[in-house]
Amino acid sequence: MERVSLPRHVDAPQRFLLWTVDQAIPFLLFVGFGIVLDMLMLSIIGGIAVSYYFNRYKESRSDGFIKHMFWWYGMAHTGAKVRSVVNPFMRRIFPA
């Protein structure tokens, strides 16, 4: 039988090396652009700075703020369970 590692906490965020996934994405994007533009060291420093400030911004807001911000600006990700989403560009919703 094969061993399976269980997470310590059920609601713990997924990790990529030392960072959570949402901290690693800006860093990896900057490093990817740095490789393409042949400016790797500058992009690593910029990626660390952007990840740091993004993490501080995210931690100062409530949970789900980033998802709500994407929905507000029309970049909603509905997921597999939802069949429709309220139009984010309709700012007032009146009762029927």
**Residue 88: what pLDDT?**
66
For residues 78-93, give the mean pLDDT: 67
Written as six digits, the tokens of 32 are: 């990817």
Residue 56 confidence (pLDDT) above 80: yes
Task: At 22, give phi and psi (nearest 5°).
Answer: -70, -20
Burial 1-29 (b: 16+ CB within 10 A, else e): eeeeeeeeeeeeeeeeeebeeebbebbee
Rounded to two decimals, what is the model's pTM? 0.60
What residue ranges do the domains of the chain occupy?
A: 15-72
Q: How far apart are CA 29 and CA 59, in angstroms?
A: 21
**Residue 32: what pLDDT?**
95
C-alpha closest to that of 48 among 71, 66, 31, 68: 31
Residue 44 confidence (pLDDT) above 90: yes
C-alpha closest to that of 23 among 64, 55, 68: 55
